[in-house]
Amino acid sequence: MEIGGEYLEILGSSILMTDYLEYSNALFREGLLDGQFIQLQMLRDDSNPDFVVEVVTLFFEDSQRILNELSKTLDEQNVDFKKIDANVHQLKGSSSSIGAQRVRNACIAFRSFCDAQDVESYGFCFFVLFPDQMCLRCLQQVKQEYLLVKNKLEALLRLEQQIVAAGGVVPTLNDVS
Amino acid sequence: MGCEMESDQPEDLDVVLTSMWPEDMNEAGRQFNVERPGGDQDMLEEVTINKEPNIVDFQRLMELTNYSDKGNWQLAKLVKNWEFKQANVVRLLKEELDQLSKQQQEVELKKLEILEEHRFEKDGYGGDKRPISILDENLRYLYQDAPKRRKDDVVSQGEIVAIDAEYDSVVYWKQRAMHLEKLLEASLQREQVLVEKLQESIESLERQSTPVEELSQVLKRADNFLHFVLQNAPVVIGHQDKDMRYRFIFNHFPTLGEQDIIGKTDVEIFTGAGVKESQDFKKEVLERGLPAKREITFETELFGSKTFLIYVEPVFSKAGETIGVNYMGMEVTDQVLFHPSTFRVITQSKKLVASSLTTLCCVMTPMQVRKREKMAKLREEIAVQKAKETELNKTIHITEETMRAKQMLATMSHEIRSPLSGVVSMTEILATTNLDKEQRQLLKVMLSSGDLVLQLINDILDLSKVESGVMKLEAAKFRPREVVKHVLQTAAASLQKLLTLEGHVAEDVPIEVIGDVLRIRQILTNLISNAIKFTHEGKVGINLYVVPEPSDVNEHGSEKKSRDQSTLSANTNGNGHADNSPSCEESELNDTSCDQNGDQMDQDKESRMKAEERIVWIRCDVYDTGIGIPEHAMSTLFKKYMQVGADTARKYGGTGLGLAICKQLVELMGGYLTVSSVEQHGSTFTFVLPYKVSSASDSDDTEELSDTYQLGDDGYDDDLNSGVFLFPPRTLGTLFSSQINGRIPKLLPNSYGNNCNDLLEDSPLPCSNKEGTSEEGSDSSGGAMETASSVPDIDNIRPVAQQEQETASECSSTNRTGVEKSETKQHKILLVEDNKINIMVAKSMTKQLGYAIDVVSNGAEAVKALQRSSYHLILMDVCMPVMDGLQATRLIRSFEETGSWDEAVKAGVEMETTSHQSCSTSQVEETRKRVPIVAMTANTVSESADECYANGMDSFVSKPITLQSLKQCLQRYLV
C-alpha cells in the first residue's frame, strides 16, 4: 500500500508536471506570457522558493490598484491624460517585468493613444473625437487581458503549489521558448 | 406778265407751305425719336412683320393701361400727342379755310369791281390770286404727316379775257358781259368745290375723331416699327404679373407657342440652371420696387447655355402697389469672344436696340451706350479675373490636398509606429531567448526590417514636425568631440563592412558649444549611415573644423564649386592614407593631435575669455569613398522620397527621407548643407552650422571643469581634447574595444590608479599615455569581448562573425566572473526605479548575481541618495514621476563637474545641506569621479539611446531586464 501510495504520489506529481508543462506551453503559445516569465522562474532558488508567487501576487495587487485608478480617472469630468499615461506606463512596466506580454501590448496601444492626445508634440492634426471613449475602450482591452492572464497565472501557480505539495519539482520552462 | 405769274406760282406755293406747317410739327415725331419716314415709306413696305414672336395677353395690356400709372402715363402721352396732331390739323384746316374765305372775298370784291368798272379795267383780274392747296386725305397716318400737295387742283387761273370785238361796240359789251358771266360761273363753281372740299375735310375730321381708334392704330404702328427694329436682336422682352406669370412676351426665337408661355411662370416653362435665379431676381425686383440689372447664365434644355443681361423693373398700380414687372433680357453669351469689328457691329446693333427700346413705351429706362461698352470691357476683365481665380483655386486646392495628404501620412505613421514598436520590441525580446541558428537568422531579418520601417516612420514624423514648424530646437551645452565619437561608435557597432571609420575634430573647435545636440547627432548619424550604405571599400569619416562666418548663407551655392574641389582633393588625399595600413595612419594622426593639444587648450581659453558669448561656425564634412552621386541626381538629392535612381533604391533600400530631413534640420538651425561628389570616387556632405560658445559665466564652469579633469584624470582631459577618432576595419574585436574603452577608463580611473586604461581611447592616444598602449592592448580587448554581447542593445543587426565572437567572449568571460564576484560584493549599486514589480525583479536578479542594491523610486531621490553616499553604478529608469532619469543624470553629471549641487537645488531637489557640508570635504574626491549611469529603457522611441547618451548616461539596458543583460551590464562596469 505504502509503495502503491508513493507510486501514486509520484505518478500524480508527474501527471501534474505534464499538465503544468502543457498548460504553461499553452500560455506561451497564446502569447499570454513571454520569456520574461521564465526569467522570473530562473530567479527562484532555494533561498527564495516563493519568489514567482510573490512577484505575481504583487503584480496582481499593483495592477488592480492601477486599473481602479484608471477607471476613476476616466470617470472624472476632465480626464487627466497625463495621469492616465503615467498609470498605464506603470502597468506596462510591471506587466513586461512579469512577462504578461498581452497586457503589455494593450498598454502600449493605450499609451500610444495617450501620446496622440499630446497634440503639441506633433504638428499635424491628430484629433480623436471622443478621447475618453477611446480611453475607455483601451482600458477595457487592458482589463480584459489582465483578467485573462490573471486567471491563467493563478491556475498555473495553483498547479505549481500542487506539484510542490505532491513532492514534485516544478519543471523549468527553459525549453518552452 | 401772265406767264410770269404762272411760272412763279409753284415757288410761292413752297414758300407758303413751309410757313403753313409749323416747325414743331416734327417734334411730335421726334418725341419717339423716330425720323420722319417720308421717302422711306417703301422701307416699311419691305418689312414683313412677323407677328408671331409677339405674344400678348391683350386683356392684361388693357388692365395695365387702365390700372398702372405707367400705362396711364403712356396713354396720356399718346393722347396728348394725338391731340397735338389733331390740333395741328385743325389749325391747318382753319388756315386753309381762312384762305379760302379770303379768296372768296377777294373774288366777290373782284366781281363787284368788274361789275362796277368792267368797262375800264380789262386785265389785272386774278393776277394776285393766291394758290390753294388742299390737305391730303392721308393725314391719318401720323408718321407720314407731310401733307401731299395737290397742285393745280383747284387753282383759280387768271384768264386773260380776249375779246375780239371792237371796243365799246354793242357786240363788245355783249361779249364782255358774257365773258364775265362765265367767269362768275367759274368762280361760283370753284367756290362750290371748295365748300365741298371743306365739307369733306370736316367729314373726314369727324370720321377719325375717335381717339381710341387712333391710339390703337398708333400703337400698332409703333409695334410694327419695333418689330422691324427688333427682328434680329437677341432680345427678349416680357411682362409678368405679380405672380410671375407671363402676360406678354416678345422673343425673336420662339420655340414655344403662346399657350406655353402666357399665364405661366419661368419655372413652369423651362428648367435648368439660371431659371430659378432669374425668377428670384424678378421677384426681388417686385418686392423691392426698384429696377435692377443682372447677368444670369442659363443652362437649359430649351436653348442650351446662354448668358443674358436682364433688366427688370417693377410696374406699380396707381395705389403704388407693384402689380408686375417688365423685363428685358439681352443675350450676351459670346460677347467676350467677339472680334473687335464684330463687336462694333454688335455694339451698334445694341445701340439701335437700346435706342429702340427706349422708345418701347419706356419699358426700359434709357441705357447709355457708353455704359454698355464699359460693361463689356468690365466683363472682359472679369472673365480674365475669373480665369485667374480658377487657376489660383486649383493651385490652392492642390496645395490643400498635399497638406492633407501629408497630415494623413504623418497621422498614419504615428498610428503605425506604436504597434510596430511593439512588434520590434517583441522581436528583440524573442531574440534574447534561446533560439537555434536558423531562428536567430530569421529573427534578425525581422528585426532589421522592423527597424527600417520604424526608421522610415520616424523620418516621416520628423519631417512633418520640421515642416509644420513644431520642431523645437534645444540649446544645451554639448561636446562636439563626444558627439562625433558617439556617432562613429554607433556606426561602427552596426558596421557590416570592412570600412575604416574615422573622425577628426580640429583643435580650434571649442570643447563645449551650445546647440541642439540631439538634432546634430541625428544629422551626423544620418549622413554617416548614408555614407556607409553607399561605400563598399575605403573609409567614411567626419571632419569638424571652424570656419569664418559665411557672408551670406544663401551664397553657398556659388561657393560650392570651389569648395567641392577642395574637399575632393582632400578626399583623394584621404584615400591615399586609406591605402596605408590603419595603424600607420593612426600614429600619424596621433602625432598631430598630440602636438597641438596643449596649445589648443590655451588658445581656446583665451578666445573664450575675450568674447563673452560668441558665435562660432563649425563646418562638418562627412566624406566617403563610395559610389558617388551622378551629376544629374544632385538636384533631386535633397528632395523627399528621392533616391538617385530606381536601381539605387532597389539595391540600397532606404526611405529617401534622410537627406531631406538633414537639410531641413540644418536649415532650421540656421546653417546650410551642401554636397559634392565624383562618381565612383566618393561624396562629401558638408554642413555648416552656427553654435553659441558658452558665455563668460559658463566658461568659469568649464574652466573649473577642465581643471577638475586635469586634477582628477588626465586621461579624461585628453579624451575631451583629442580630436581624432579611428575605427579601423578588420578586427571587429577592436571595434568593440574602442567603443568600450572610451568608457571604462572614465568610469574607474582611480581604482587603477593610473591612466593606463586610457590607452584604448577610441582614438589615438595622447603622447603621455603612448607607452601604455601596447601592453594594455590585449587586456582591454579581452574586456571588450566580455561586453561585446551588450552591443545588440545599441544596434540589433550584427554580422555573423561578430556573433561567433560573442559566444567566444562569453566563454572567456566566465573565467573572469568568479574573480569578479568576490570583488563585487563591495560594490554599491543604486537602483532608481518606481515600479514595485520591476524593483522586486531587479533586486532578486542582482541578489542572484551577488550584489546588494539600494533602491530609490525617482530621480530626485537618486540625487539625494548620491549626496549621502557614493555608488559604483547607478541603474536608472528613464521614465519616472517627480524627476525622470535623464534630468537626474544631468544633475549628477553637473555635480561631478562642478562639485556643487546647485543645479539640483535649482531643479527643486531638497538637499540636505548639513550632510552636504559635512561630507563635502571628506567625500569630494570620491564623489567627484564619474559614476557610471546605465539607463533602463523601455525600448520605445521616446527613450532612445541617443537621448540617454546626450544626457550623460553611459549605456543602457532595455527593459524588461533579463538576468543575462543585467549580468553583462554589471560586469562591464563593476570590474
- Residue B962: its chain A contacts at CB < 8 A? 35-36, 39
Q: Is B845 on the interface with A (CB under 8 A)?
A: yes
- C-beta atoms of A94 and B421 within 8 A: no
Residue in B closest to A28 by C-alpha: B430
- Residue B834: its chain A contacts at CB < 8 A? 90
Asked if residue B739 lies in contact with residue B972, where contact means CB atoms within 8 angstroms, the answer is: no
Q: How far is A167 from chain B (nearest CA, A)?
A: 25
Q: What was the ipTM of the complex prediction?
A: 0.81
Facing residue for B879 by CB, picked from A45, A54, A89: A89
User: Which of B432, B474, B668, B835 best probes binding to A when mutated, by most A CB atoms within 10 angstroms?
Assistant: B835
Q: Copy the grid coordinates of residue B636.
A: 533631386
- Give tens-digit pLDDT for B254-308: 667 777 778 888 888 877 788 888 888 888 888 888 888 888 888 877 777 788 8
Q: Is B417 on the interface with A (CB under 8 A)?
A: yes
* Rounded Cα distance, B625 and B572, in Å: 9
Give the residues across from B326 on adjacent strands.
B239, B313
- Residue A119: its chain B contacts at CB < 8 A? none
Q: Which letter does DSSP use for residue B169 in this model? A: S
H or E element: which one contains B820? helix B800-824
Q: Which residues contact B873 (CB under 8 A, 6 or more apart)?
A: B827, B828, B829, B830, B931, B932, B933, B934, B970, B973, B974
Q: How far is B691 from chain A (nearest CA, A)?
A: 25
Asked if residue B638 lies in contact with residue B663, where contact means CB atoms within 8 angstroms, the answer is: yes
Facing residue for A62 by CB, picked from B461, B836, B881: B836
**b/e string for A133-163 if b means 16 or more Cβ within 10 A?**
ebbbebbebbbebbeebbebbeebbebbebb
Q: Copy the grid coordinates of residue B14.
A: 413752297
Q: Which residues contact A7 (CB under 8 A, 6 or more apart)?
A: none
Q: How far is B835 from chain A (nearest CA, A)?
A: 6
Q: How far is A150 from chain B (nearest CA, A)?
A: 15
Q: Is B404 on the interface with A (CB under 8 A)?
A: no
Q: Which letter does DSSP use for residue B575 in this model? A: H
H or E element: which one contains B282? helix B275-288
Q: How far is B470 from chain A (nearest CA, A)?
A: 5
Angle at which helix A81-98 crosses helix A51-75, to 10 degrees, equals 160
User: Which of A29, A33, A38, A39 best probes binding to B when mutated, by most B CB atoms within 10 angstroms?
Assistant: A39
User: Which of B840, B851, B877 best probes binding to A when mutated, by most A CB atoms within 10 angstroms?
Assistant: B840
* Rounded Cα distance, A96 and B429, in Å: 10
* Residues lower than pLDDT 70 in chain B: 1-72, 117-168, 205-214, 218-223, 252-255, 334-369, 410, 414, 468-471, 551-613, 640-656, 695-722, 729-825, 912-928, 939-943, 975
- C-beta atoms of A62 and B464 within 8 A: no
Helices (H), B133-247: 170-207, 211-230
pLDDT of residue B879: 82
- C-beta atoms of A112 and B418 within 8 A: yes
- Residue B959: its chain A contacts at CB < 8 A? 93, 96-97
* Rounded Cα distance, B869 and B856, in Å: 13
Asked if residue B873 lies in contact with residue B974, where contact means CB atoms within 8 angstroms, the answer is: yes
Residue in A closest to B410 by C-alpha: A124
Facing residue for A51 by CB, picked from B468, B844, B963: B844
H or E element: which one contains B305? strand B304-316
Asked if residue B960 lies in contact with residue B935, where contact means CB atoms within 8 angstroms, the answer is: no
Residue in A closest to B472 by C-alpha: A121
Give all domains of chain A, ordered by start, each with its CATH number.
5-43+55-165 (1.20.120.160)
- C-beta atoms of A122 and B837 within 8 A: no
- Residue B416: its chain A contacts at CB < 8 A? none
pLDDT of residue B621: 92
Each of the 177 residues of chain A gets a pLDDT tens digit; together they read: 444 455 555 556 677 777 888 888 888 888 888 888 888 888 887 777 888 888 999 999 999 999 999 888 888 877 777 888 888 888 988 898 888 988 988 888 887 777 665 544 433 334 444 566 677 888 888 898 899 999 988 988 888 888 887 777 777 665 444
pLDDT of residue B755: 38
- C-beta atoms of A109 and B422 within 8 A: yes
**b/e string for B332-368 if b means 16 or more Cβ within 10 A?**
beebeeeeeeebeebbeebeebbbbbbbbbebbeebe
Residue in A closest to B421 by C-alpha: A108
Q: Which B residues, 849 through 888, put their C-beta within 8 Å of a C-beta on chain A?
A: 879, 881
Q: Which letter does DSSP use for residue B206 in this model? A: H
| Identity at B870, one-letter amino acid code | S
- Residue A96: its chain B contacts at CB < 8 A? 938, 959-960
Q: How far is A12 from chain B (nearest CA, A)?
A: 30
Instruction: Compute the count of residue pairs across chains A and B with CB atoms less than 8 Å apart.
Output: 115
Residue in A closest to B461 by C-alpha: A122
- Residue B835: its chain A contacts at CB < 8 A? 90, 93-94, 97
The SS3 call for residue B877 is strand
- C-beta atoms of B835 and A90 within 8 A: yes
Facing residue for B470 by CB, picked from A96, A111, A123: A123
- Residue B967: its chain A contacts at CB < 8 A? none
* Rounded Cα distance, B132 and B152, in Å: 8
C-alpha angle B253-B255-B261 in degrees, rounded to nearest 5: 105
Facing residue for A58 by CB, picked from B417, B836, B879: B836
User: Which of A124, A125, A138 best probes binding to B when mutated, by most B CB atoms within 10 angstroms?
Assistant: A124
